[in-house]
Structure 1
Amino acid sequence: MALFSTGPIDNSPILGIRQTQMVTVKAVNRDSLNPYNLVIQGFLLNGSRTMYVNEMVSLAPNQVITMNYFADLDAFEFEFTTLEEVEAEIGISVWGKQVSGEIVEPHRIVAWEKYVGII
């Protein structure tokens, strides 16, 4: 199992508006033979850590998925856990976006190439 995390993301309002209202997660399985399962968890950070996204997705060999999640929150964090041992076969990126779909550059976390932590 591997654990990937965005770490806490500050999305405090600027002039009354939060920069990010939606998070797009892209995940790719680079393995041409093996499927993998990925657990996606999103947390509201408001003095305590409250899970508001908890979803498991299956990635077929060479599959790319795109998932969109609500993120109009003052602070949030996303974690990704693989259920199988992977050898850097999973790539994940997280994109903060405005309602219009425009990418919020400070909330862009591109694909992890190596493990952040091993469970």
Structure 2
Amino acid sequence: MGYDAANEFGVIVLKPGIKLKSAVCDTEVLVIKAGGAGVVSCGGAPLVEARTGGKGAVDPAFADGTKMGKRYTDAAGTLELLCIKPGTGSLALDGVALHLKDAKPLPSSD
């Protein structure tokens, strides 16, 4: 039996290791950390496992773009996504924009 990240209702169950794609731009992400529930979107449209057909249009309110190799997280730190392919849409959880995760400072080498 193959791995299917969607439950019986067609809702994607977020688990670490799942790759998701934007339905409206080229953005692709890898789920690093997933706790809690919510709808993850990019460019104003929910992320999908496999892109089918053509692309829709990016919502101007969610058009800040994504950057390759950067991690995006919510304010509570329950969701973390790694951008593996950049695009023009920006990521959001339940309509609230995700922000770039800050790098941990390295210890001083005094």
TM-score by length of 1: 0.28
Which structure's relative contact order is higher, taking Cα pairs within 8 Å and 6+ residues apart?
A: 1
TM-score by length of 2: 0.29
- Which protein has the bigger strand share? 1
